[in-house]
């Protein structure tokens, strides 16, 4: 009886192992985020810049009455600045542990289904110029590398604050000089 139960469990677990990812592109790299985190995907909205905010915070948008911060993922991950055209931007609205945040990406591609067990831990070396701390894992899909981002880490409050204070101090320093 008990054996059968565990066997059943194992079966269903195997089925559950299939995860769906929303794939998106920044530059040439393909990234993935768990579809359950994605609240919606919008094409560019008018962004209001917030003065004195961290550099990677693009500003805030009005999403049907709520004010949501928008982070430029390229800047946040230091993937090099490319002057992007506002018209082609996509904003991924993610629910990261209750904090609704928008992330600007170059292009949202498609929903990718992958096996949970095909996800490898992030390699020690830099992937696409990205620190491994922001990577939840990597996975090979159709001969390309899909990088699964750890958005919790990306939005880690302390870190965001620290980054902010750094930028602020720099500014203040500049102002002082």
Residues forming the site for another protein (CB under 8 A): 46, 48-54, 57, 60-62, 65-67, 69, 99, 101, 157, 160-161, 164-165, 168, 171-172, 175-176
Q: Considering only the C-alpha atoms of the chain, give the largest distance between any 2 of them, rounded to a whole number of Å.
A: 77
Would you state the structure tokens that stand for residue 33, as one six-digit string? 């985020």
In 10 A of CB 35, how many CB atoms? 13
Would you state the structure tokens that stand for residue 167, as one six-digit string? 């930028």
Pair 25, 106: CB distance under 8 Å? yes
> Would you say 20 or 170 has its CB closer to another protein?
170
> Would you say 25 or 153 has its CB closer to another protein?
153
Pair 95, 65: CB distance under 8 Å? no
> Would you say 8 or 55 has its CB closer to another protein?
55
CB of 67 to another protein, least distance (A): 5
CB of 17 to another protein, least distance (A): 34
CB of 112 to another protein, least distance (A): 29
CB of 90 to another protein, least distance (A): 20
CA distance 148 to 85: 25
> Would you say 44 or 53 has its CB closer to another protein?
53
CA dihedral 126, 123, 137, 165 (to 10 degrees): -40
């Amino acid at each position: 009886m008990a054996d059968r139960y565990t066997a059943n469990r194992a079966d269903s677990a195997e089925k559950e192992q299939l995860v769906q990812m929303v794939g998106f592109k920044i530059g040439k790299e393909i990234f993935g985020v768990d579809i359950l985190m994605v609240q919606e995907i919008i094409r560019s909205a008018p962004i209001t810049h917030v003065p004195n905010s961290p550099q990677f915070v693009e500003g805030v948008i009005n999403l049907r009455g709520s004010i949501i911060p928008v982070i430029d993922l390229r800047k946040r991950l230091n993937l090099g600045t490319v002057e992007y055209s506002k018209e082609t931007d996509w904003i991924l609205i993610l629910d990261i542990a209750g904090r609704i945040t928008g992330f600007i990406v170059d292009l949202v591609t498609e929903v990718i289904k992958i096996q949970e067990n095909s996800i490898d831990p992030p390699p020690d070396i830099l992937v696409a110029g990205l620190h491994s701390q922001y990577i939840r894992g990597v996975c090979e899909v159709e001969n390309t590398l899909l990088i699964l981002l750890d958005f919790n880490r990306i939005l880690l409050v302390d870190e965001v604050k620290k980054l902010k204070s750094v930028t602020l101090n720099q500014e203040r320093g500049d102002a002082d000089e």
